[in-house]
Amino acid sequence: MSQEIKADKVIDARGSFCPGPLMELIKNIKRGEVGKIYEVWSKDAGSIRDIPKWVAKAKHEMVGIFEEDGYTRFAVKKMR
Amino acid sequence: MNSVDKKPHVVILGGGTGGVIVANLLGRKAKKLADVTLVSKQENVFYEPDLIYRIFDKKSTKKQYRPLRKVVNKRVKILNEEVIHLDPKGQKVQFKSGNDISYDYLVIATGAHYNYDNVPGYAGEAHHFYDEEAALKLRDALESFEGGNIVTGVADLPYKCPIAPIEVTFMLYHYFKRRKMLEQVNLHYLSPLGGAFSIEQASEKFEKQFEKKGIELHEFFNTEEILPEKKVVSSLEGEEINYDLLILVPPHEGATYIDDRELANEQGWVLVDTERLQSLAYPNIFAVGDTTELPISKAGSTAHYQAKVASKNILRLIKEGQLNAKYNGHAQCFVMMGLTSAMVLDFTYTRPPLRIGYIPNRLFYYVKKFFARFFFRGVLSGRI
């Protein structure tokens, strides 16, 4: 998958134990525009399980998951 | 900055935890260097965390109040005004009364406010415990509750004290157990996440307790709307839950008097550097507490620690034209696990919660239960 995806908004949630990266992502997507890409940065090991699961359940699109040095970038497209 | 013979004016907006601590620190430490004004629409400081006890007891909220003048340093001028507009370029704040005030440095600490209209169906239907009036109304609703589905959760993101709805769910269980009504009551918790909570070890603890107590956990439930005529709450993820009594943390907003989108986003959450707490657009503006867009819990403890950092940075800016204090993301939350037992979550941006805190005990409960006295006498002074 290309690492050149252009996010419309980057949410740096590294260091967020509470409320946590997924809650930051949901907060942004809820108020966001359909078709925009939101990229959340997370250091939380649980994000790799939770974020794709929520994205599937909420019927958005997981555009990409990119491992970086010490954190992961999750790019999500708002579909509805 | 003003002329050499005039002291800079520091204005603090908000008379809650963060605003009062900044006022006291600057009142003491910047007495010869600056004039300090605290603006608050309330004449009292209110200790909100004890509202979770007021839902279940018959006590008055009187002890949760202190007059602002009694807890704020005498060198700090207090204005009882409500802010309606902030002009960061003109360095001026407008009040509802028609008055205004100019500043050289500004601290925004006006916290979070509730706007029920942000979630369809919320107003007049959902209960909560995030302000005095609502908590006392919920107390009455619980007293007269005869049985059925009690659904607890969150109406919108973000919200203050992320742990509070879970605590109250545990406390509801013990409340109905005491009233010998557990067979008539079904408790449901709506979690916005894929587990009970964002911190995995804490989440596991909570989930075990939910299971043990027969509380049904609904994962990935982010409230979309409430249909009072059907007694149904629905989620963005497409689920519906029936309720007889609905207790949802209300939808929050930040400093909605700010229309400058470089300073705050559309919900009024102020955009600051995560460590310096300085506005990303205006170097003479700082923000602390619930009103910030920081990726950290909106809670009294975070406002407390942030207030100390912002005060140091303003003082250093006035003295030397530079700043060096950094907020490390420190948060400390005492979590009620029943009516007389609590655990503690203590963490920073880089350090996960301490393991010791995961053991629920009565000591942590007493710390939380009696913290109000320490709050008014110690925490607000900024000395701790």
CATH number at residue B176: 3.50.50.60
Could you tell me the residue range of the domain that residue B188 belongs to? 119-251
- Cβ contact (<8 Å) for A54 and B194? yes
Residues B96 and B206 both lie in one domain: no
Is A18 annotated as catalytic?
Answer: yes
- Cβ contact (<8 Å) for B236 and A30? yes
A10, A17, A74, A79: best to mutate for the B interface, most B CBs within 10 A: A17
**Closest B-chain CA to A32:** B266
Measured between CB atoms, which of A11, A15, A26 is closest to B350? A15
Inter-CA distances, B161 with A35, A46, B339, Å: 32, 21, 18
Confidence of residue A1 (pLDDT cuts 50, 70, 90): very low
Round the average pLDDT of chain B to a whole number and report it. Answer: 96
Q: Which helix (H) or strand (E) holds B190?
A: strand B185-190
**pLDDT in 10s for each residue of chain B, 384 residues:** 444 568 999 999 999 999 999 999 999 999 899 999 999 999 999 999 999 999 999 999 999 999 999 999 999 999 999 999 999 999 999 999 999 999 999 999 999 999 999 999 999 999 999 999 999 999 999 999 999 999 999 999 999 999 999 999 999 999 999 999 999 999 999 999 999 998 888 999 999 999 999 999 999 999 999 999 999 999 999 999 999 999 999 999 999 999 999 999 999 999 999 999 999 999 999 999 999 999 999 999 999 999 999 999 999 999 999 999 999 999 999 999 988 999 999 999 999 888 878 888 999 999 998 999 899 999 999 999
Asked if residue B339 belongs to a domain, the reply is no
pLDDT in tens, B175-226: 999 999 999 999 999 999 999 998 888 999 999 999 999 999 999 999 999 9
Chain A hits for B333, CB-CB cut-off 8 Å, are: 18
Residues B266 and B211 both lie in one domain: no
Residues B246 and B260 both lie in one domain: no
Asked if residue A36 belongs to a domain, the reply is yes
Q: Which of A6, A17, A18, A45 is catalytic?
A: A18
**Terminal Cα distance for chain B, rounded:** 31
Asked if residue B359 belongs to a domain, the reply is no
Residues B159 and B203 both lie in one domain: yes
Measured between CB atoms, which of B162, B192, B349 is closest to A26? B192
In chain B, the number of structural domains is 2
Could you tell me the residue range of the domain that residue A16 belongs to? 9-66
Please choose, from the candidates A68, A71, A70, A57, the residue with its C-alpha nearest in 3D space to the C-alpha of residue A26.
A57
Q: Tokens 């909106």 belong to which residue?
A: B298
Chain B hits for A54, CB-CB cut-off 8 Å, are: 193-194, 220, 237
**Strand partners for B241:** B233
Is residue B158 reached through a cis peptide bond, with omega within 30 degrees of 0 on the bond before it?
Answer: yes
- Cβ contact (<8 Å) for B198 and A57? no
Confidence of residue A3 (pLDDT cuts 50, 70, 90): low
- Cβ contact (<8 Å) for B267 and A31? yes
Answer for the pair B354, B346: CB distance below 8 angstroms, yes or no: yes
What is the DSSP secondary-structure string of B272-335? B-TTT-BBSS-TTEEE-GGGB--SS-BSHHHHHHHHHHHHHHHHHHHHHS---------EEEEE
Chain B hits for A17, CB-CB cut-off 8 Å, are: 198-199, 331, 347, 352-353
Residues with Cβ within 8 Å of residue B70, at least 6 apart in sequence: none
Chain A hits for B353, CB-CB cut-off 8 Å, are: 17
Asked if residue B341 belongs to a domain, the reply is no
Residues B99 and B47 both lie in one domain: yes
**Strand partners for B46:** B65
What angle do helix axes B17-29 and B300-320 make, rounded to 10 degrees?
30
Residues B216 and B128 both lie in one domain: yes
Asked which of B190, B218, B251 is the last residue of a domain, the reply is: B251
Residue A57: which CATH number? Answer: 3.30.110.40
Distance from CA of B217 to the nearest CA of A (A): 16
Instruction: Give the whole-angstrom CA distance, residue B92 versus residue B235.
Output: 42
